[in-house]
C-alpha cells in the first residue's frame, strides 16, 4: 500500500542517492586514466594565451567572412591537437587563443595554419649560412657532386607499406629540370611594379611595398633572379611573403627552423602558359591543402621514430599519383604560408590516394606535421602579436583564492542555518556536503568526456549555487514552520510542508536553470564557464533536495529525541502558533461573553 501524499520511505530514497554516488565514483576511479582530479582552466593551472593579428596581401582589411572562417578552422585545429579547455575568441581583427596546461606552448604555432601547398624542390636545399652559386648554371652542366645535402633528418614520401628504399637523396639542380621549367627572361620580372601602386584607404602602403618587392625577387620567373634572391634571403627576419606567395610562380623561401633555404617550383602552371600540357606533372604538383582528407602521426612500422600517414581526396589522390610518378627520387616540399614544413624525397610512384612521409621524426614533430597537413588551409595569414604564458604558481594562487571564497560562503551559510534552524541547519550543511560530493565526481567525468575545465568563473558559479541550493532548503523549512504554527506536530507537518514547498522549489530551480542556459548560449569566454557550473549545480540541487534533504528531515521527525522543539528549531514556531491560537480563542470568548 502506497504511503499518503507527502509521506515517503526515507531509506529507499537515501539508498538511491548512495547508488548514484557509488556509480559516479566507480566511473571516476575505474575509467579513463584513473586521475581523480578535475581539469583546471588556464587561470587555475597556468597555460598560454596567444593573440593573432590577421593580415591580408597589401595590408587590406580582412573581411568578416574570412575572419569567421579562420576562427572556426583554428578552433578545429586546437581540438585536433588534443588540448582541452582551449578556446578561440575573435576580438576585432584579432583572434585570441587560450590553451591551459603544461603542454600549452604548442599554441604559439597555431597561427601558422594558413595556405598549404606542395611544391617541387628545384635544385638542392641551401644551408642558411652558406652563399649559393650566383651564376646561372648552363643547361648542359650536370648537378655538382659536392653540392649541399638536404636537411637532416632525411625524409621520404612513399607508399604506406614501403620499406628500405634509400632516403634523403638530393633533388636535381635547377638546370637539370625538364623543359617545363618557367621560361627565363632577361627583362624585368613581370611581378616588378613600375611604381608604387595606389593603395585604397584601408591599405598600408609600407606593407604593400614590402610584399611587392619580395615578390619581384623571390617569385621571379628568371632563374638568375631566383638564385640572387636565395643569396640575399635572411631566414632570421620576418617574412613579408608569409601567406602572400603566388601559387602560379616559383618561390624562394626558408625551412621551418630557418636552417635551409629552398628554390621551389610553382604549384600551378602560369595562367598564360600555353606550352604545358594539362597532364604534365613533371614540374607542377597542382596540390594544395584542399586536396587532403586526413593526416595522422603513427609509429614507424619499419624502424624507430614516427611517420605521417597521409590520405588524399579522390582528385587529390589522382594528382598526387601523377606527380610522384613524374618525380621519383626528387624532393617535394610541404609549404605552409610560404614556409617549408617538410621536404621528403619521393621514393616511388604513389597511387591509391594514401602515402607515408617518413623520417627521423619525434612524436611531437610528426604530430605537428600531421596537423599542419590536416588543418592547413585558412583564408587569412596571421602574425602572433602577443604570446603570454601564465605560470602554474600564479594559477595555484588563484585556485586557493577561489577555494577560500567558497569556504567563506559555505561557512556563512552554516552559521546562519545553525543559528536560525538548529537541527535543520545541520541537515542543510550535510546536504550541501553531499551535493559537493556529487559535483566533484561530475566535474572529473565531464573533464574526461567533453574536455570541460574548471576556471575562476566556474568556481564563482558554484559559490552562487551554494545560495541557490540553500534557498531550496529554506523554502522547505519555512513551509514546515508554517505547518507547526497551525498546531501540527513535527512528524505530521513534514509531508504537508513537502507537498506545499515542492512546486516552489521546482519553479525556482527551473528559473535559475533557464537563466544559466540563456547566459551560456549568448555568452563568450569565461562567462560560459560560470553559466555552465551554475546550471549544473541547479540540476544537482534537485537531486540532493529530493533524495537527501527531504528523507533526512522525515527520518528526524520520527525520532523522539530529534523531534524535540528546542532541538529541531521548531520550538519558536510552536510557541507562536500556540500564542496566536490562545489570542484568537480569548477574543472569541470575550465576544461570546459580551
- Taking the model in full, what pTM does it have? 0.51
DSSP calls for 206-266:
HHHHHHHHHHHHHT-S-HHHHHHHHHH--TTS--TTTTT--TTS-EEEEBTTSSEEEEE--
Task: Give the three-class secondary structure for 170.
Answer: coil
**Per-residue pLDDT tens listing for the chain (594 residues):** 444 555 678 889 999 999 999 999 999 988 876 668 888 777 777 777 788 887 765 566 777 777 876 787 777 666 655 555 567 888 777 888 877 665 555 566 565 545 778 999 998 888 877 554 433 333 222 222 222 334 434 566 666 643 333 333 333 333 333 333 333 333 333 333 333 333 333 445 776 788 888 888 999 888 889 888 888 888 888 788 876 788 889 999 998 777 889 999 999 888 777 777 877 888 899 988 888 888 888 888 877 888 888 888 888 888 988 999 999 999 999 887 788 888 888 888 887 778 887 767 788 778 777 777 776 656 666 766 566 776 666 667 777 887 788 788 888 888 888 887 778 888 888 888 888 899 999 999 988 888 787 888 888 888 888 888 888 888 888 888 888 888 888 888 888 899 889 999 999 999 999 999 999 888 766 788 889 999 999 999 899 999 998 998 888 888 888 777 776 666 566 566 566 666 666 666 555 555
Beta strands in 31-86 (DSSP E): 47-55
For residue range 297-322, what is the model confidence (pLDDT) as tens digits? 888 887 788 888 888 888 888 898 89
* Cα(321)–Cα(61) distance, integer angstroms: 39
Rg (CA), the chain: 35
Q: How many helices (H) and strands (E) does the chain have?
A: 15, 15
Long-range contacts of 142-146 (CB under 8 A, 24+ apart): 142/173, 142/176, 143/170, 143/172, 143/173, 143/176, 144/173
Please count the residues of the chain. 594
Do residues 534 and 457 touch, judged by C-beta distance below 8 A?
A: no
Contact 523, 531 (CB under 8 A): yes
Q: Identify the DSSP state of 141.
A: P
Q: 10-40+391-585 has which CATH code?
A: 1.20.1640.10
For 413-451, letters b (16+ CB in 10 Å) and e give bbeebbeebbbbbbbbbebbebbbebbbbbbbbbbbeee
Calculate ∠ Cα 508-514-520, nearest 5°: 140
Q: Where exactly are the structural domains of the chain?
A: 10-40+391-585, 47-108, 115-374
What b-and-e string marks burial along 207-233, b requiring 16 or more CB atoms within 10 Å of the CB? bbbbbbebbbbbbbbbbebbbbbbeeb
Amino acid at each position: 500500500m502506497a504511503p499518503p501524499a507527502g509521506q515517503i520511505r526515507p531509506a529507499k530514497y537515501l539508498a538511491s542517492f548512495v547508488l548514484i554516488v557509488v556509480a559516479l565514483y566507480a566511473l571516476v576511479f575505474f575509467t579513463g586514466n584513473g586521475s581523480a582530479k578535475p581539469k583546471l582552466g588556464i587561470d587555475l593551472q597556468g597555460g598560454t594565451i596567444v593573440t593573432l593579428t590577421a593580415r591580408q596581401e597589401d595590408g587590406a582589411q580582412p573581411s568578416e567572412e574570412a575572419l569567421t572562417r579562420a576562427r572556426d578552422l583554428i578552433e578545429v585545429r586546437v581540438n585536433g591537437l588534443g588540448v582541452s579547455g582551449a578556446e578561440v575568441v575573435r576580438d576585432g581583427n584579432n583572434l585570441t587563443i587560450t590553451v591551459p596546461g603544461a603542454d600549452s606552448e604548442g599554441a604559439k604555432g597555431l597561427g601558422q595554419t594558413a595556405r598549404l601547398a606542395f611544391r617541387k624542390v628545384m635544385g638542392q636545399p641551401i644551408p642558411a649560412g652558406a652563399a649559393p652559386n650566383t651564376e646561372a648554371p648552363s643547361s648542359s652542366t650536370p648537378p655538382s657532386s659536392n653540392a649541399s645535402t638536404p636537411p637532416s633528418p632525411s625524409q621520404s614520401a612513399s607508399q604506406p607499406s614501403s620499406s628500405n628504399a634509400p632516403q634523403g637523396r638530393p633533388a636535381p639542380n635547377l638546370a637539370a629540370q625538364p623543359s617545363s621549367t618557367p621560361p627565363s627572361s632577361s627583362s624585368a620580372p613581370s611581378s616588378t611594379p613600375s611604381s608604387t601602386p595606389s593603395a585604397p584607404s584601408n591599405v598600408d602602403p609600407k606593407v604593400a611595398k614590402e610584399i611587392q618587392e619580395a615578390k619581384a625577387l623571390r617569385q621571379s620567373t628568371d632563374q638568375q633572379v631566383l638564385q640572387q634572391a636565395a643569396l640575399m634571403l635572411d631566414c632570421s627576419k620576418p617574412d613579408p611573403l608569409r601567406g602572400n606567395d603566388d601559387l602560379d610562380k616559383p618561390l624562394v623561401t626558408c625551412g621551418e627552423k630557418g636552417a635551409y633555404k629552398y628554390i621551389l617550383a610553382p604549384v600551378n602552371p602560369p595562367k598564360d602558359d600555353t606550352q604545358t600540357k594539362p597532364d604534365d606533372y613533371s614540374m607542377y604538383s597542382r596540390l594544395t591543402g584542399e586536396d587532403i582528407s586526413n593526416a595522422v602521426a603513427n609509429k614507424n612500422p619499419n624502424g624507430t621514430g614516427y611517420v605521417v600517414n597521409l590520405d588524399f581526396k579522390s582528385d587529390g589522390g589522382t594528382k598526387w599519383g601523377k606527380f610522384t610518378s613524374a618525380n621519383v627520387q626528387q624532393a617535394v616540399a610541404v609549404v605552409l604560408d610560404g614556409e617549408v614544413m617538410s621536404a621528403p624525397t619521393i621514393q616511388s610512384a604513389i597511387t591509391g590516394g594514401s602515402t607515408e612521409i617518413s623520417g627521423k621524426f619525434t612524436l611531437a614533430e610528426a604530430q605537428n606535421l600531421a596537423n599542419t597537413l590536416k588543418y592547413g588551409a585558412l583564408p587569412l595569414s596571421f602574425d602572433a602579436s602577443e604570446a603570454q604564458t601564465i605560470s602554474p604558481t600564479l594559477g595555484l594562487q588563484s585556485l586557493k583564492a577561489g577555494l577560500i571564497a567558497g569556504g567563506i560562503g559555505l561557512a556563512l551559510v552554516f552559521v546562519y542555518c545553525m543559528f536560525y534552524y538548529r537541527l535543520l541547519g545541520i541537515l542543510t550543511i550535510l546536504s550541501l556536503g553531499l551535493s559537493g560530493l556529487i559535483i566533484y565526481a561530475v566535474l572529473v567525468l565531464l573533464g574526461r568526456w567533453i574536455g570541460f575545465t574548471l576556471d575562476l568563473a566556474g568556481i564563482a558559479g558554484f559559490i552562487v549555487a551554494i545560495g541557490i541550493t540553500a534557498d531550496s532548503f529554506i523554502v522547505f523549512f519555512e513551509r514546515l514552520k508554517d505547518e507547526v504554527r497551525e498546531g501540527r506536530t513535527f512528524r505530521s507537518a513534514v509531508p504537508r510542508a513537502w507537498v506545499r514547498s515542492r512546486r516552489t522549489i521546482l519553479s525556482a530551480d527551473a528559473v535559475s536553470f533557464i537563466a544559466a542556459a540563456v547566459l551560456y548560449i549568448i555568452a563568450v569566454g569565461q562567462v560560459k564557464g560560470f553559466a555552465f557550473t551554475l546550471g549544473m549545480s541547479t540540476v544537482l540541487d534537485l537531486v540532493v533536495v529530493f533524495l537527501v534533504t527531504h528523507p533526512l528531515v522525515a527520518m528526524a521527525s520520527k525520532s523522539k529525541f530529534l523531534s524535540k522543539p528546542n532541538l529541531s528549531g521548531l520550538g519558536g514556531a510552536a510557541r507562536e502558533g500556540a500564542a496566536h491560537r490562545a489570542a484568537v480563542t480569548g477574543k472569541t470568548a470575550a465576544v461570546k461573553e459580551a
